[in-house]
Amino acid sequence: MASETIYSFSAKDIKGQEVSMDDYRGKVLLIVNTASKCGFTPQFEGLQSLHDELGERGFEVLGFPCNQFMNQDPGNDDAISQFCSLNYGVSFPMFAKIEVNGDGTHPLFRFLKREAKGLMGSEKVKWNFTKFLVNREGQVVRRYAPTAKPADIRADIEKLL
Q: How many domains does the chain have?
A: 1
Burial of 77: CB neighbours in 10 Å, binned 0-12, 13-18, 19+: middle
Asked if the structure places residue 132 within a domain, the reply is yes
- pLDDT band at 125, cuts 50/70/90? very high
Asked if the structure places residue 101 within a domain, the reply is yes
What are the pLDDT digits (tens) for 136-151?
A: 999 999 999 999 999 9
Strands 59-65 and 28-34: parallel
What are the pLDDT digits (tens) for 97-118?
A: 999 999 999 999 999 999 998 8
Asked if the structure places residue 137 within a domain, the reply is yes
SS3 22: helix
Alpha carbon distance 120, 134 (integer Å): 21
What backbone torsions phi and psi does residue 98 show, to the nearest 5 degrees? Answer: -135, 175
The confidence score (pLDDT) of residue 160 equals 98
Of residues 38, 47, 133, 140, which has the active-site annotation? 38
**Range 84-88 average pLDDT:** 92
Q: What is the DSSP letter of 66?
A: B
Q: Is 38 a catalytic residue?
A: yes
Q: Which domain holds residue 12?
A: 6-160
17 within 8 A of 124, measured Cβ to Cβ = no
Amino acid at 20: S
Asked if the structure places residue 84 within a domain, the reply is yes
Alpha carbon distance 121, 16 (integer Å): 34
The confidence score (pLDDT) of residue 1 equals 37
The confidence score (pLDDT) of residue 61 equals 98
The confidence score (pLDDT) of residue 119 equals 73
Asked if the structure places residue 1 within a domain, the reply is no
CATH of the domain at 62: 3.40.30.10
Q: Show the 3-state SS of 89-149.
A: CCCCCEECCEECCCCCECHHHHHHHHHCCCHHHCCCCCCCCCEEEECCCCCEEEEECCCCC
Higher pLDDT, 43 or 3: 43
The confidence score (pLDDT) of residue 45 equals 96
What are the pLDDT digits (tens) for 20-42?
A: 999 999 999 999 999 999 999 99
The confidence score (pLDDT) of residue 155 equals 97
pTM of the model as a whole: 0.95
pLDDT at 51 over 60: yes
The confidence score (pLDDT) of residue 121 equals 82
What are the pLDDT digits (tens) for 57-80?
A: 999 999 999 999 999 999 999 999
Asked if the structure places residue 76 within a domain, the reply is yes
